[in-house]
Amino acid sequence: MGEPTQLIIFDCDGVLVDSERLAIRIDARVLADVGWPMPEEEIVERFVGKPDAHMLAEVERHTGKDVREAWYTTYSAMYRAAFEEELTPVPGIVEALDAIDLATCVASSGTHERIRFTLGLTGLIDRFDDRIYSAQDVERGKPFPDLFLHAAEQMGESVRACVVVEDSVAGVEAARAAGMRVLAYGAGVTPGAKLEGPNTTVFTNMTHLPSLL
């Protein structure tokens, strides 16, 4: 028997906020604009769940172009506008959070600014307050375990007392590598079958989350 669960570590995009479908739509436009057109299925495979810096580095490596300035001005504004207009919480997450009485935090591949922006737009920011951790806080982002280990350390919990709620292959791999149990949400952009594996329970209805803890 493992330790009783004491801490739930939530990914943000695709778990708390329904941002990934919006972001992928913009990703496709941005990639075409910089000369690397890509179908949405490949975008999911290559980039979902990983830090934005990874995508930027891959774009520059593949195209041979310096797109950093445009990335943080023109393209960043496109994502921001789409979120402001259309972003909502993931269906069922508000009900799930209402029913969970364990400690919670967020550990996301996004920047602190982006995490707070999207949680603020969806009315979820006050539920996590100062318990928000970003890939900016660690040397290596997902699929490496660093971010989840950092979150557990900051929250004062052992890895065996943590459960991670994720929806991407990179995130699930990071949680497993950290030695944490994973609840993998399979109703997002990544098919549930791709999230299956050791120490992992795949589910497709967020309102069922509390009963899986």
The CATH number for 37's domain is 1.10.150
Do residue 174 and residue 97 come from a single domain? Answer: yes
- Catalytic, 13? Answer yes
Residue-wise pLDDT tens digits, 149-175:
999 999 999 999 999 999 999 999 999
pLDDT at position 85 is 97
Closest C-alpha to 89, from 10, 173, 1, 184: 10
Give 112-135 pLDDT, tens digit per residue.
999 999 999 999 999 998 999 999
Asked if residue 1 has pLDDT above 60, the reply is no
Q: What pLDDT is stored for residue 70 in this prediction? A: 87
Out of 13, 52, 146, 167, which one is annotated catalytic? 13
Q: What percent of the chain has pLDDT over 70?
A: 99
pTM summary value = 0.93
**pLDDT, tens digit, for every residue of 61-115?**
999 999 988 888 888 999 999 999 999 999 999 999 999 999 999 999 999 999 9
Q: Is 66 among the residues known to form the active site?
A: no
Give me the CATH number covering residue 107. 3.40.50.1000
pLDDT of residue 71: 86
Structure tokens, 92 = 């069922």
Q: Residues 63, 141: one domain?
A: no
Confidence at residue 89, expressed as pLDDT on a 0 to 100 scale: 98
Number of domains into which the chain is organized: 2
Q: Give the confidence band of 2 by pLDDT, cuts at 50, 70, 90.
A: low
- In whole angstroms, what is the distance from residue 192 CA to residue 160 CA? 24
2 in a structural domain: no
Residue 171: closest CA among 37, 1, 25, 16 = 16
Considering 11, 18, 52, 146, which one is annotated as catalytic? 11
pLDDT (tens digit per residue) in 12-63: 999 999 999 999 999 999 999 999 999 999 999 999 988 888 999 999 999 9
User: 3: pLDDT confidence band, cut at 50, 70 and 90?
Assistant: confident
CB 163 within 8 A of CB 104: no
32, 52, 86 — which closes off a domain? 86
Distance CA 99, CA 27 (A): 34
